[in-house]
Amino acid sequence: MPDTSSLPYRPCAGVVLARADGLVFAGERINMPGAWQMPQGGIDKGETPREAALRELEEETGVRPDLTKLERATAGWVRYDFPAKLVAKVAKGRFRGQEQMWYLLRFNGTDADINIATEHAEFSRWQWMAPDDLIAAIVPFKRRVYQDVFAQFQESL
């Protein structure tokens, strides 16, 4: 396996989209059946992490920003490394992993406002999940990140 320790982390933003009952949006990845995750993605040049989070949410779920209320952000960046065998595939060899800023957004819409059949669909299906169930369903190399994010947001969920 190649040494990836000198590679940078890719800056990203993620969204915990939560209903009033504390369940959160989870999508099953199209390219990884059985792997569930929350909306997330890279931060474009000139974009703030919050702007990226709102853009990614709309691109992946169809949920417009006006259907959400920002409640919290993580205290800082949360990092994870890609498994070495995935660096070339997932990051084209440019990044060792991701550093993410996460936002807790309260969903004020209805299920009818969610549309994962977007132009560049990432999810094959979606559901509302309890945080512990989502932690169990995420790919193992992202599990610590989800545990950390949910621990930071625990009082607000």
Residue 59, pLDDT score: 97
Query: Rounded mean pLDDT of the chain?
Result: 94
Rounded to whole angstroms, what are the CA distances from 16 to 89, 118, 128? 26, 19, 11
Q: pTM of the full predicted structure? A: 0.94
101 with 79: CB under 8 angstroms?
no
Which residue in 15, 34, 33 sits closest to 101, CA to CA?
A: 15
Residue 2, pLDDT score: 66
- Per-residue pLDDT tens over the stretch 16-27: 999 999 999 999
Range ranked top by mean pLDDT from 2-16, 31-45, 77-91: 31-45
Write the single-letter amino acid at 15. V
Q: How confident is the model at residue 1 (pLDDT cuts 50, 70, 90)?
A: low
- Please state, in angstroms and rounded to a whole number, the distance separating the CA atoms of residues 138 and 128: 14
Residue 86, pLDDT score: 80
- Per-residue pLDDT tens over the stretch 75-104: 999 999 998 888 877 767 899 999 999 999
